[in-house]
A and B are shown apart, each in its own frame.
Chain A
Amino acid sequence: MTLVLLVLYLVAVGVLLPRRLAGSARLQARPVTGAALWLALMASFTVAAALTAHHAVEPLTHEPAGLLGLLPHAEPAGPVLPHTHDWWLLAAAGAAVAVLVAAVGLRTGRARRRHRALLDVVAVRDRRWGALVLEHAHPTVYCLPGRRSRIVLSRGALRLLDERQLAAALAHEHGRIRGRHHLFRLPADTFALLLGPLPLARLGRSEVALLLEMAADDAALAQVSRSELASALYTLATFGATPAPGGGTHGGTLGVASTGVLARVRRLARPGGGRRRQRAWRLGLLALPVLPYLLACAPHP
């Protein structure tokens, strides 16, 4: 029974909920909280999966516990142990997760350091914009996050964008570095590497990335206007692309499959998007990872 409940929970959190949440305008209104919600769901899924394994290995030696124990249930036949967990099981599961995240983090950090070493020698410092400039015709703006962060502009981007658009792009990158967005992406990336095809992993990773872009957009809006930011996005995204003749006819399907930039510009057109703090939301996020435990294992009065 506990096992069935846990499996249902895994299906709900791993498959059903992600499909409903992806692209949600309510999450996009509070992008950082939205990203945190996805991470909390991943954590919750991980806890539930560990508990499922635990209950699958020792199905009948437990007395029914948690919220489930409050329901009327048949007394198990045979000898029954009180519902306890060895502390080392918990420690081992926690350590395994930490090691996995650290391994992915180290690998990403190594790629980042290698890129930065090359960058520092090859790129030219632009004092006016406080960025490194790469002499390359293709327009691009990106950043290397982390403690020794760098913001990079290509010569093509300097040529293509006007003053305000450049200011918008750089403010976006600064917002990303200040918000330490790479630390949000790390657990999502790790989860996606391990559980690739699962909707929570696949959608979760891209949604976390998109929501963080939106959070950085919000940070940029402290320095530039919505239309300046939107036009910077448009100009860079459509470089070299020609609008399809009679385009816009399949606007309906695009809403679902829209790439990041389209969702971001559409969001800038929506009213609101101001910063709102909701403590209840945050508390709910903290509770999510504990929920499967409460459901299946917590001792009841």
Chain B
Amino acid sequence: MLRGFGDLEAEIMDRLWSWGRPATVREVVDDLQLQRAVAYTTVTTVADILHTKGWLRRDKVGRAWVYEPTCTREEYTARLMHQALETTPDRAGALLHFIDRISGDEASALLAALEQVKARGPE
């Protein structure tokens, strides 16, 4: 595993998000094992890491911990997109964009430039 527990973290979060309900480590392990062999203790460890990182909250139900994501996938996605789209010079260089947005005024100048490129013909 190249990224350490990274892949397993993603797989665990993925399941909990798609189920949309709290689940035990046992349930997650059973589901993971439909695809590949994975040790119960490994999943317990990674779930514990995710809890420490603040990704999961847990409650004790009977003898087992029941885990649940603290935020929805959409909330995290929105946070990432916010970081990706904010253009404070302070953060320059952390993320590099293919392109920044332009104003409506510039759109027509841009269209003219695009026509010029196309007029050059294929190379």
Contact = CB atoms under 8 A, between A and B. Distances in A.
> Are A and B genuine complex partners?
yes
Interface of A: 108, 111-112, 115, 118-123, 134-136, 138, 140-145, 152, 154, 169, 172-173, 176, 181-182, 185-186, 189, 192, 205, 209, 225-227, 230-234, 236-244, 247-248, 250-251, 254, 258-262, 265-266, 268-269, 271
B77 A169 contact: no
Contacts of B63: none
Contacts of A135: 73-74, 77
B79 interface: yes
Contacts of A142: 84, 95-98
A248 B103 CA distance: 13
A121 B55 contact: yes
Contacts of B83: 115
Contacts of B97: 140-142
Majority SS at the chain B contact face: helix
Interface size class of B (residues with CB under 8 A): 35 or more
Interface of B: 3, 6, 9-10, 13, 55, 73-74, 76-81, 83-85, 89, 91-114, 116-120, 122-123
Majority SS at the chain A contact face: helix
A138 B77 CA distance: 11
A238 B102 contact: yes
B10, B55, B109: which has the most chain A beta carbons within 10 Å? Answer: B109
Contacts of A258: 106, 109
